[in-house]
């Protein structure tokens, strides 16, 4: 019965709001996917612990820019493609997401044998981006990866004091980037 209610696009948002508190993951996923789900329902249920629910929210046409901005706080790098791809994802949301995720993950566990290659590529995209915030670039300027330091060195948003530090980098490519 409840499954039929959450799948129905004519279900009132107030009913979806109540059902969004359900312990049933499948119900919460259907609510995230329901075209009747309003931004208010999303904002009240955005802290869901299920990745699939978080991935479905941005794909819903009712997930407005404020919903996506809020969602950034509860998602990690692996969810970024879902938030950045919807048509209602504004440039402001994209900037906030890029800077937030690069900063959240600024410390990589160097003792780890495997490092997620997609994550490294994502960080590079941020550091090469003209939307990267100076504070994010500065906080990552001591990266263990020379290519990240290079990207930071050539980014026009990098503070001059950080550029000066990188001009004395141990890697010749980073040193000569300026």
H, E, C per residue of the chain: CHHHHHHCCCCCHHHHHHHCCCCCHHHHHHHHHCCCCCHHHHHHHCCCCCHHHHHHHHHCCCCCHHHHHHHHCCCCHHHHHHHHCCCCCCHHHHHHHHHHHHHHCCCCCCCCCCCCHHHHHHHHHHHHCCCCCHHHHHHCCCCCCHHHHHHHHHCCCCCHHHHHHHCCCCCHHHHCCC
pLDDT tens string 107-117: 444 444 345 56
Low-confidence residues in the chain, pLDDT < 70: 76-81, 84-87, 98-99, 101-119
Are residue 58 and residue 142 in the same domain, yes or no? no
Q: What pLDDT is recorded for position 112?
A: 42
Are residue 75 and residue 106 in the same domain, yes or no? no
Domain end position, chosen among 25, 58, 89: 89
Are residue 85 and residue 37 in the same domain, yes or no? yes
Are residue 97 and residue 70 in the same domain, yes or no? no
pLDDT tens string 29-59: 999 999 999 999 998 888 888 888 888 888 8
The span from the CA of 13 to the CA of 15, in Å, is 5
Q: Which domain holds residue 58?
A: 1-89
Are residue 95 and residue 177 in the same domain, yes or no? yes
**Tally of structural domains, the chain:** 2
Are residue 37 and residue 110 in the same domain, yes or no? no
The span from the CA of 45 to the CA of 39, in Å, is 10
Domain end position, chosen among 51, 71, 89: 89
């Amino acid at each position: 019965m409840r499954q039929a209610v959450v799948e129905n696009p004519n279900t009132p948002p107030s009913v979806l709001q109540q059902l969004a508190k359900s312990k049933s993951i499948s119900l919460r996923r259907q609510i995230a996917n329901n075209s009747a789900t309003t931004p208010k329902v999303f904002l009240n249920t955005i802290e869901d612990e299920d990745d699939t629910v978080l991935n479905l929210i941005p794909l819903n046409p009712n997930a407005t820019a404020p919903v996506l901005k809020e969602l950034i706080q509860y998602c990690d790098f692996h969810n970024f493609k879902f938030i950045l791809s919807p048509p209602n994802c504004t440039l402001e949301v994209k900037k906030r997401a890029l800077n937030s995720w690069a900063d959240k993950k600024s410390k990589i566990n160097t003792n780890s044998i495997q490092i997620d290659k997609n994550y490294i590529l994502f960080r590079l995209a941020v550091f090469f981006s003209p939307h990267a915030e100076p504070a994010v670039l500065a906080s990552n300027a001591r990266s263990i990866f020379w290519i990240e330091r290079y990207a930071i060195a050539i980014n026009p948003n990098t503070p001059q004091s950080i550029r000066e530090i990188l001009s004395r980098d141990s890697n010749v490519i980073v040193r000569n980037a300026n």
